[in-house]
Amino acid sequence: MRPAFSLHRTVSLVTGAARGIGFATARGLADAGSMVIGADILAKPSELAVEGWLELDVASAEGWRDAMAWIEDRHGRLDCLVNNAGIIRMASIENTTLADFRQMMAVNAESVLLSMQAALPLLKSSGAARHGGSSIVNISSCAGLVGAPFSGGYAASKAAVHLLSRTAAKEFGHLGYPIRVNSVHPNAADSQMADDVREGYRRAGLGTAGGEVKEIGAPIPMGRPGLSDENVGAIIYLCSTASSYVTGTQLIVDGGAMA
Ligand SMILES: NC(=O)c1ccc[n+]([C@@H]2O[C@H](COP(=O)([O-])OP(=O)(O)OC[C@H]3O[C@@H](n4cnc5c(N)ncnc54)[C@H](O)[C@@H]3O)[C@@H](O)[C@H]2O)c1
Protein backbone atom coordinates (compact mmCIF):
# COMPACT_ATOMS: atom_id res chain seq x y z
CA MET A 1 0.00 0.00 0.00
CA ARG A 2 1.32 3.52 -0.80
CA PRO A 3 2.45 5.25 2.41
CA ALA A 4 -0.15 8.01 2.06
CA PHE A 5 -2.93 5.40 2.37
CA SER A 6 -1.31 3.60 5.29
CA LEU A 7 -2.88 3.96 8.73
CA HIS A 8 0.15 2.77 10.70
CA ARG A 9 0.46 4.31 14.16
CA THR A 10 -3.17 5.48 14.17
CA VAL A 11 -6.04 4.59 16.48
CA SER A 12 -9.52 4.32 14.94
CA LEU A 13 -13.00 3.91 16.36
CA VAL A 14 -15.75 2.40 14.19
CA THR A 15 -19.34 2.31 15.45
CA GLY A 16 -21.84 -0.30 14.29
CA ALA A 17 -18.89 -2.66 13.74
CA ALA A 18 -20.72 -5.91 14.54
CA ARG A 19 -21.91 -6.44 10.97
CA GLY A 20 -22.40 -4.95 7.50
CA ILE A 21 -20.48 -1.86 6.42
CA GLY A 22 -19.13 -1.26 9.95
CA PHE A 23 -17.70 -4.77 10.16
CA ALA A 24 -16.08 -4.44 6.72
CA THR A 25 -14.70 -1.01 7.69
CA ALA A 26 -13.21 -2.22 10.99
CA ARG A 27 -11.49 -5.07 9.16
CA GLY A 28 -10.31 -2.77 6.35
CA LEU A 29 -8.85 -0.13 8.68
CA ALA A 30 -7.04 -2.86 10.63
CA ASP A 31 -5.63 -4.25 7.35
CA ALA A 32 -4.43 -0.72 6.53
CA GLY A 33 -2.41 -0.73 9.77
CA SER A 34 -4.69 1.06 12.24
CA MET A 35 -5.34 -0.06 15.82
CA VAL A 36 -9.09 -0.44 15.57
CA ILE A 37 -11.63 -0.25 18.34
CA GLY A 38 -15.06 -1.51 17.34
CA ALA A 39 -18.27 -0.40 19.05
CA ASP A 40 -21.82 -1.66 18.84
CA ILE A 41 -24.86 -2.54 20.95
CA LEU A 42 -24.14 -6.11 19.83
CA ALA A 43 -21.24 -8.30 20.99
CA LYS A 44 -18.04 -8.50 18.94
CA PRO A 45 -18.28 -11.13 16.21
CA SER A 46 -15.66 -13.81 16.88
CA GLU A 47 -14.25 -13.54 13.35
CA LEU A 48 -13.43 -9.83 13.70
CA ALA A 49 -9.83 -9.20 14.83
CA VAL A 50 -9.68 -5.75 16.45
CA GLU A 51 -7.66 -4.14 19.21
CA GLY A 52 -10.64 -3.42 21.45
CA TRP A 53 -14.43 -3.61 21.63
CA LEU A 54 -16.90 -1.29 23.33
CA GLU A 55 -20.53 -2.08 23.98
CA LEU A 56 -21.87 1.37 23.20
CA ASP A 57 -25.33 2.74 22.45
CA VAL A 58 -24.39 5.62 20.16
CA ALA A 59 -27.52 7.54 21.21
CA SER A 60 -26.24 7.78 24.80
CA ALA A 61 -24.22 10.86 25.80
CA GLU A 62 -22.98 9.03 28.89
CA GLY A 63 -21.95 6.07 26.74
CA TRP A 64 -19.84 8.40 24.57
CA ARG A 65 -18.17 9.98 27.60
CA ASP A 66 -17.26 6.53 28.96
CA ALA A 67 -16.03 5.36 25.55
CA MET A 68 -13.70 8.33 25.15
CA ALA A 69 -12.37 7.96 28.71
CA TRP A 70 -11.62 4.28 27.95
CA ILE A 71 -9.81 5.13 24.68
CA GLU A 72 -7.80 7.91 26.30
CA ASP A 73 -6.83 5.62 29.16
CA ARG A 74 -5.82 2.68 26.92
CA HIS A 75 -4.41 4.41 23.86
CA GLY A 76 -4.00 8.11 24.67
CA ARG A 77 -5.07 9.11 21.18
CA LEU A 78 -7.76 8.89 18.49
CA ASP A 79 -6.94 9.60 14.84
CA CYS A 80 -9.98 8.33 12.94
CA LEU A 81 -13.61 8.28 14.03
CA VAL A 82 -16.09 6.47 11.77
CA ASN A 83 -19.69 7.12 12.80
CA ASN A 84 -21.37 4.23 11.01
CA ALA A 85 -24.01 2.80 13.38
CA GLY A 86 -27.52 3.31 12.06
CA ILE A 87 -31.07 2.03 11.92
CA ILE A 88 -34.01 2.23 9.53
CA ARG A 89 -37.73 1.98 10.26
CA MET A 90 -39.50 1.91 6.91
CA ALA A 91 -42.95 3.49 6.60
CA SER A 92 -44.85 5.87 4.35
CA ILE A 93 -45.09 9.49 5.48
CA GLU A 94 -48.73 8.82 6.45
CA ASN A 95 -47.82 5.88 8.64
CA THR A 96 -44.56 7.06 10.20
CA THR A 97 -44.97 7.17 13.97
CA LEU A 98 -43.39 9.96 15.96
CA ALA A 99 -41.67 7.33 18.12
CA ASP A 100 -39.96 5.75 15.08
CA PHE A 101 -39.06 9.15 13.63
CA ARG A 102 -37.48 10.22 16.92
CA GLN A 103 -35.61 6.94 17.31
CA MET A 104 -34.02 7.30 13.86
CA MET A 105 -33.10 10.91 14.62
CA ALA A 106 -31.55 9.82 17.95
CA VAL A 107 -29.55 6.81 16.69
CA ASN A 108 -28.58 8.15 13.25
CA ALA A 109 -28.21 11.91 13.74
CA GLU A 110 -28.03 12.95 17.41
CA SER A 111 -25.38 10.25 17.87
CA VAL A 112 -23.10 12.04 15.41
CA LEU A 113 -23.33 15.29 17.38
CA LEU A 114 -22.68 13.45 20.67
CA SER A 115 -19.80 11.55 19.12
CA MET A 116 -18.05 14.60 17.70
CA GLN A 117 -18.50 16.53 20.96
CA ALA A 118 -17.11 13.71 23.09
CA ALA A 119 -14.21 12.95 20.74
CA LEU A 120 -13.04 16.53 20.10
CA PRO A 121 -10.34 16.74 22.80
CA LEU A 122 -8.64 13.50 21.68
CA LEU A 123 -9.07 14.26 17.97
CA LYS A 124 -7.56 17.72 18.46
CA SER A 125 -4.47 16.50 20.28
CA SER A 126 -3.94 13.55 17.91
CA GLY A 127 -4.63 15.64 14.81
CA ALA A 128 -2.02 18.23 15.80
CA ALA A 129 0.65 15.56 15.54
CA ARG A 130 -0.42 14.10 12.20
CA HIS A 131 -0.09 15.37 8.61
CA GLY A 132 -3.63 16.07 7.40
CA GLY A 133 -4.92 16.07 10.98
CA SER A 134 -7.34 13.59 12.44
CA SER A 135 -10.40 12.49 10.50
CA ILE A 136 -14.10 12.06 11.16
CA VAL A 137 -16.04 10.03 8.60
CA ASN A 138 -19.80 10.12 9.05
CA ILE A 139 -21.80 7.50 7.20
CA SER A 140 -24.83 9.18 5.67
CA SER A 141 -26.76 7.79 2.70
CA CYS A 142 -27.90 8.72 -0.80
CA ALA A 143 -31.31 9.04 0.91
CA GLY A 144 -29.78 11.89 2.90
CA LEU A 145 -29.06 13.75 -0.34
CA VAL A 146 -32.19 13.12 -2.43
CA GLY A 147 -34.73 11.44 -0.11
CA ALA A 148 -36.19 7.95 -0.53
CA PRO A 149 -39.81 6.75 -0.63
CA PHE A 150 -41.12 5.00 2.50
CA SER A 151 -38.04 6.22 4.38
CA GLY A 152 -38.96 9.77 5.44
CA GLY A 153 -37.55 9.57 8.96
CA TYR A 154 -34.43 7.78 7.77
CA ALA A 155 -33.82 10.26 4.93
CA ALA A 156 -34.32 13.20 7.32
CA SER A 157 -31.86 11.73 9.82
CA LYS A 158 -29.26 11.08 7.10
CA ALA A 159 -29.71 14.60 5.68
CA ALA A 160 -28.93 15.81 9.21
CA VAL A 161 -25.75 13.69 9.23
CA HIS A 162 -24.74 15.14 5.87
CA LEU A 163 -25.13 18.80 6.86
CA LEU A 164 -23.77 18.29 10.36
CA SER A 165 -20.63 16.93 8.68
CA ARG A 166 -20.29 19.85 6.27
CA THR A 167 -20.92 22.34 9.07
CA ALA A 168 -18.36 20.69 11.36
CA ALA A 169 -15.79 20.72 8.52
CA LYS A 170 -16.25 24.47 8.02
CA GLU A 171 -16.40 25.26 11.71
CA PHE A 172 -13.33 23.20 12.69
CA GLY A 173 -11.42 24.76 9.79
CA HIS A 174 -12.28 28.29 10.93
CA LEU A 175 -11.42 27.43 14.52
CA GLY A 176 -8.07 26.00 13.44
CA TYR A 177 -8.82 22.51 14.75
CA PRO A 178 -6.66 19.88 13.02
CA ILE A 179 -9.69 17.72 12.22
CA ARG A 180 -11.20 16.94 8.82
CA VAL A 181 -14.86 15.91 8.54
CA ASN A 182 -16.40 14.16 5.54
CA SER A 183 -19.47 12.05 4.82
CA VAL A 184 -19.81 8.82 2.85
CA HIS A 185 -23.04 7.91 1.07
CA PRO A 186 -23.12 4.15 0.47
CA ASN A 187 -25.20 1.61 -1.35
CA ALA A 188 -24.73 -1.97 -0.15
CA ALA A 189 -27.24 -4.71 -0.85
CA ASP A 190 -25.62 -7.38 1.32
CA SER A 191 -26.38 -6.03 4.81
CA GLN A 192 -29.13 -6.53 7.36
CA MET A 193 -30.28 -2.98 6.68
CA ALA A 194 -30.60 -3.73 2.96
CA ASP A 195 -32.80 -6.73 3.88
CA ASP A 196 -34.88 -4.43 6.11
CA VAL A 197 -35.36 -2.03 3.19
CA ARG A 198 -36.47 -4.84 0.85
CA GLU A 199 -38.89 -6.04 3.54
CA GLY A 200 -40.20 -2.48 3.96
CA TYR A 201 -40.92 -2.18 0.24
CA ARG A 202 -42.66 -5.55 0.30
CA ARG A 203 -44.87 -4.39 3.18
CA ALA A 204 -45.63 -1.21 1.22
CA GLY A 205 -47.06 -3.42 -1.54
CA LEU A 206 -44.08 -3.11 -3.88
CA GLY A 207 -43.30 -6.83 -3.96
CA THR A 208 -43.87 -8.83 -7.14
CA ALA A 209 -45.54 -12.22 -7.42
CA GLY A 210 -42.08 -13.80 -7.73
CA GLY A 211 -41.06 -12.45 -4.32
CA GLU A 212 -38.75 -9.83 -5.84
CA VAL A 213 -39.10 -6.17 -5.00
CA LYS A 214 -39.86 -3.67 -7.76
CA GLU A 215 -36.84 -1.43 -8.53
CA ILE A 216 -37.82 1.89 -7.04
CA GLY A 217 -34.50 3.68 -6.75
CA ALA A 218 -32.57 5.29 -9.59
CA PRO A 219 -31.16 2.76 -12.09
CA ILE A 220 -27.56 1.79 -11.33
CA PRO A 221 -25.33 2.52 -14.36
CA MET A 222 -22.86 -0.15 -13.20
CA GLY A 223 -25.71 -2.64 -13.48
CA ARG A 224 -25.44 -4.30 -10.08
CA PRO A 225 -25.98 -3.46 -6.41
CA GLY A 226 -22.97 -2.75 -4.21
CA LEU A 227 -21.36 -4.73 -1.40
CA SER A 228 -20.48 -3.59 2.12
CA ASP A 229 -16.79 -4.16 1.32
CA GLU A 230 -16.98 -1.75 -1.60
CA ASN A 231 -17.40 1.20 0.80
CA VAL A 232 -14.20 0.49 2.68
CA GLY A 233 -11.74 2.04 0.20
CA ALA A 234 -13.57 5.37 0.36
CA ILE A 235 -13.43 5.33 4.16
CA ILE A 236 -9.72 4.39 4.28
CA TYR A 237 -8.99 7.21 1.84
CA LEU A 238 -10.81 9.77 4.00
CA CYS A 239 -9.08 8.49 7.17
CA SER A 240 -5.62 8.53 5.63
CA THR A 241 -3.20 11.34 4.82
CA ALA A 242 -3.94 10.68 1.13
CA SER A 243 -6.95 12.95 1.73
CA SER A 244 -5.01 15.57 3.74
CA TYR A 245 -6.66 18.47 1.83
CA VAL A 246 -10.20 17.00 1.72
CA THR A 247 -12.80 18.18 4.19
CA GLY A 248 -16.53 18.89 3.98
CA THR A 249 -17.00 16.60 1.01
CA GLN A 250 -19.64 13.94 0.25
CA LEU A 251 -18.18 10.75 -1.16
CA ILE A 252 -20.92 8.83 -2.96
CA VAL A 253 -20.36 5.08 -3.37
CA ASP A 254 -23.34 3.95 -5.43
CA GLY A 255 -22.30 2.45 -8.78
CA GLY A 256 -23.27 5.75 -10.45
CA ALA A 257 -26.96 5.80 -9.41
CA MET A 258 -26.76 9.46 -8.37
CA ALA A 259 -24.71 10.52 -11.39
N1 LIG B 1 -26.66 -0.84 3.31
C2 LIG B 1 -26.89 0.23 2.58
O3 LIG B 1 -27.24 0.14 1.40
C4 LIG B 1 -26.72 1.59 3.14
C5 LIG B 1 -27.01 2.66 2.29
C6 LIG B 1 -26.84 3.94 2.76
C7 LIG B 1 -26.37 4.15 4.06
N8 LIG B 1 -26.10 3.10 4.86
C9 LIG B 1 -25.63 3.39 6.21
O10 LIG B 1 -24.49 2.61 6.50
C11 LIG B 1 -24.43 2.34 7.89
C12 LIG B 1 -24.28 0.84 8.12
O13 LIG B 1 -25.39 0.19 7.53
P14 LIG B 1 -25.45 -1.38 7.25
O15 LIG B 1 -26.10 -1.53 5.95
O16 LIG B 1 -24.14 -2.00 7.51
O17 LIG B 1 -26.53 -1.79 8.39
P18 LIG B 1 -26.58 -3.01 9.43
O19 LIG B 1 -27.96 -2.97 10.00
O20 LIG B 1 -26.10 -4.25 8.82
O21 LIG B 1 -25.52 -2.57 10.55
C22 LIG B 1 -25.77 -1.51 11.44
C23 LIG B 1 -24.97 -1.73 12.71
O24 LIG B 1 -25.24 -0.64 13.61
C25 LIG B 1 -25.48 -1.19 14.92
N26 LIG B 1 -26.33 -0.30 15.70
C27 LIG B 1 -27.64 -0.03 15.52
N28 LIG B 1 -28.09 0.79 16.50
C29 LIG B 1 -27.03 1.06 17.29
C30 LIG B 1 -26.84 1.84 18.46
N31 LIG B 1 -27.86 2.53 19.03
N32 LIG B 1 -25.61 1.90 19.02
C33 LIG B 1 -24.57 1.21 18.49
N34 LIG B 1 -24.68 0.43 17.39
C35 LIG B 1 -25.90 0.36 16.80
C36 LIG B 1 -26.16 -2.52 14.64
O37 LIG B 1 -26.12 -3.38 15.78
C38 LIG B 1 -25.36 -3.02 13.44
O39 LIG B 1 -24.21 -3.73 13.84
C40 LIG B 1 -25.73 2.91 8.50
O41 LIG B 1 -25.48 4.19 9.05
C42 LIG B 1 -26.62 3.04 7.29
O43 LIG B 1 -27.62 4.01 7.47
C44 LIG B 1 -26.28 1.82 4.44
Tens digit of pLDDT at every position of the chain (259 positions): 567 999 999 999 999 999 999 999 999 999 999 999 999 999 999 999 999 999 999 999 999 999 999 999 999 999 999 999 999 999 999 999 999 999 999 999 999 999 999 999 999 999 999 999 999 999 999 999 999 999 999 999 999 999 999 999 999 999 999 999 999 999 888 999 999 998 888 888 776 666 566 666 678 999 999 999 999 999 999 999 999 999 999 999 999 999 9
CATH of domain 3-253: 3.40.50.720
Q: What torsion do the CA atoms of 129, 130, 133, 137 make, to the nearest 10 degrees? A: -120
pLDDT in the model for residue 202: 85
Q: Are 183 and 162 in contact (CB under 8 A)?
A: yes
**Of 154, 177, 201, 237, which is the active-site residue?**
154
Q: Whose CA is nearest to atom 1 of ligand 1?
A: 188
| C-alpha gyration radius of the chain | 18
Q: Is 240 in the pocket of ligand 1 (CB under 6 A)?
A: no
From ligand 1's centre to the CA of 5, what distance in Å? 25
Q: Is 114 in the pocket of ligand 1 (CB under 6 A)?
A: no
Q: Is 237 tagged catalytic?
A: no
Q: Is 20 in the pocket of ligand 1 (CB under 6 A)?
A: yes
235 CB-near residues (< 8 Å, 6+ apart) = 25, 28, 29, 82, 137, 184
pTM, rounded to two decimals: 0.97
Q: Best substitution site from 140, 193, 196 to test ligand 1's pocket, by max atoms within 8 Å of Cβ?
A: 193
